[in-house]
Amino acid sequence: MSFTQDQIMKMYPNTQYYVRNSNGGLLAGTHDLKTAKKYAEEYKSEYLQDALTKELGVYVYDKKGKNVYVAKGKQNNIESETTEEFE
């Protein structure tokens, strides 16, 4: 199920960072970036082992919707993309 950034913040108001896959699925929410990155890397490793999910990326967003980390293949970190809504 895919949620918008506003919906996530209403459901989990204390979450500072959240982890999503490239299909928009919410995977985890945390209070610190280090833990969010750890979850993203774990999901990325899991996805790469499955033929059906190996193309999915895993992303970490801050509570304002800014993409702060990407765990996809060999690309590991970005600091440029801002996303307002997800579908």
Q: Rounded mean pLDDT of 24-38? A: 93
In whole angstroms, give the CA distance from residue 68 to residue 87: 18
User: How many domains does the chain divide into?
Assistant: 1
The answer to the question of residue 79 being in a domain is: no
The answer to the question of residue 80 being in a domain is: no
What letter does residue 84 receive in the DSSP assignment?
S
Phi, psi of 20 (to 5 degrees): -130, 155
Residue 38 belongs to domain spanning? 5-71
The answer to the question of residue 66 being in a domain is: yes
pLDDT for the residue numbered 39: 95
The answer to the question of residue 78 being in a domain is: no
Residues with Cβ within 8 Å of residue 43, at least 6 apart in sequence: 19, 21, 27, 28, 58, 71
The answer to the question of residue 82 being in a domain is: no
User: Is 87's pLDDT higher than 70?
Assistant: no
The answer to the question of residue 85 being in a domain is: no
User: Is 34's pLDDT higher than 70?
Assistant: yes
Instruction: Decide which of 28 and 9 is more confident.
Output: 28
User: Is 78's pLDDT higher than 90?
Assistant: no
